[in-house]
Amino acid sequence: MQSAAKVLSKTAELSVGYGSKIDFGHRDRLWISADWGLLHLWKDLELEHSISNTTAPIGEVSFSQTGDRILASPHIFNLANYQWEALPAIKAPLSDQLETSPPGSFTIRNSAWDAAGNQLVVYSTYRSPRQERRRDAGWSGPTKRLLLLEGKTRKLLKVLWQGDRIDDFEALIVSPDFVVAAGRSILLWHRHSDLSPAELKNEASANPYALTRSLRFSPDQTCLGQIRSDGYITLWQTGEWQLLARWQAHQNDGRAIAFHPHLPVLASGGWDDSLKLWSYQGELIESHALDNHIEGLTFNPQGNQLVVAKGGPSSALLIYQVDADAASVS
């Protein structure tokens, strides 16, 4: 049921420093936005620094638990000296523990740090030598690998998965207990056991070809949220991994999902040019029409602000004030 009082009120639109991946620090009013090889550091509504790193595309971004580093996977930016940390090259571990040496090479497609910056999950795909037309020419081994690396040394700790699946792991997330990777299906690993990965099953009626666009854990880690290319949101309870709720949030490609830090409320955005607030049961609280699609969004730790990355020709970061009282009443 939609709220009578508005929960979200737009207060600013920032046309510089765009990035679809956003996170807030827990001190000094800092937050970050990032895309591809560019990281932007903000203080309130002022862009303080834009820093490039072209050695590998930036995957998931977050502040470290101590708040003194930015984990722009697979890189780390140190806020003490405003420098990228000198980490070993990541190319060699991508081919470790293969039965034979590939004639081509593996390249990073996606990556995510754990919250402490101690371990890095990397998804890589095989690229054949330039003279070969077929991507897997001359190579009979796996063409896609999901690896767990030690953060500082880049040493390979574990091959989480390898094979030749058609879809890619577009979404990666690492929690204190789990590593989760998703494309058409969702695979998860418990970080403190050696068990094989579990696969989360959607309802039988779900579109089997829809791709996962984003994964997020609730603040208390009891719920995993997924948004997909068919516009559906799915929530799982993390104890027994039971399906909690599933509903169509957007008319086409759903792109981003974010949990409110204190309330049982989540935000979503997609390519239908809409921003929406939901209860955990899939009840619509509020909907806002935009002039272009949404690529990313997140709440600040206090829960009184939502930043939305709007894409397209008019790309910008939209700042919304959040009325928690109105959200509670709804």
pLDDT at 223: 97
Together in a domain, 216 and 298: yes
In a domain, 79, yes or no: no
> Looking at the predicted structure, is the pLDDT value of residue 100 above 60?
yes
**Terminal-residue alpha carbon distance, the chain:** 7
Together in a domain, 169 and 225: no
pLDDT at 325: 87
> Looking at the predicted structure, is the pLDDT value of residue 154 above 90?
yes
From residue 88, give the alpha-carbon distance in Å to each of 63, 85, 324. 21, 10, 44
Work out the number of other CB atoms within 10 angstroms of the CB of residue 148: 18
Together in a domain, 178 and 242: no
> Looking at the predicted structure, is the pLDDT value of residue 16 above 60?
yes
Average pLDDT for 19-26: 92
Together in a domain, 196 and 211: no
Together in a domain, 216 and 323: yes
In a domain, 27, yes or no: no
Together in a domain, 208 and 183: no
CB-based contacts of 23, cutoff 8 Å, min separation 6: 31, 32, 61, 62, 63, 298
Domain end position, chosen among 143, 176, 200: 200
**Which residue range(s) make up the domain with 113?**
87-200
pLDDT tens-digit series, residues 213-262: 999 999 999 999 999 999 999 999 998 899 999 999 999 899 999 999 99
Torsion sign over Cα 12, 13, 18, 23: positive
Over the chain, what is the mean pLDDT?
91
In a domain, 80, yes or no: no
User: Half-sphere exposure of residue 117, counting CA atoms within 13 Å on the CB side?
Assistant: 21
Is residue 326 very low, low, confident or very high in pLDDT (cuts 50, 70, 90)? Answer: confident
> Looking at the predicted structure, is the pLDDT value of residue 3 above 70?
no
Name the pTM for this structure: 0.92
In the DSSP assignment, the letter for residue 94 is G
pLDDT at 260: 97
Together in a domain, 156 and 91: yes
Average pLDDT for 111-125: 95
> Looking at the predicted structure, is the pLDDT value of residue 289 above 90?
yes
In a domain, 207, yes or no: yes
Together in a domain, 325 and 213: yes
Together in a domain, 123 and 206: no
Average pLDDT for 155-176: 93
- The larger pLDDT score, comparing residue 161 to residue 324, is at 161
pLDDT at 203: 74
Average pLDDT for 98-107: 85
CATH number assigned to the domain comprising residue 329: 2.130.10.10
Domain end position, chosen among 185, 200, 215: 200
CB-based contacts of 102, cutoff 8 Å, min separation 6: 95, 126, 139, 141
Together in a domain, 207 and 114: no
Average pLDDT for 53-76: 92
Is residue 201 very low, low, confident or very high in pLDDT (cuts 50, 70, 90)? Answer: confident
Work out the number of other CB atoms within 10 angstroms of the CB of residue 279: 16
Number of domains in the chain: 2
In a domain, 109, yes or no: yes
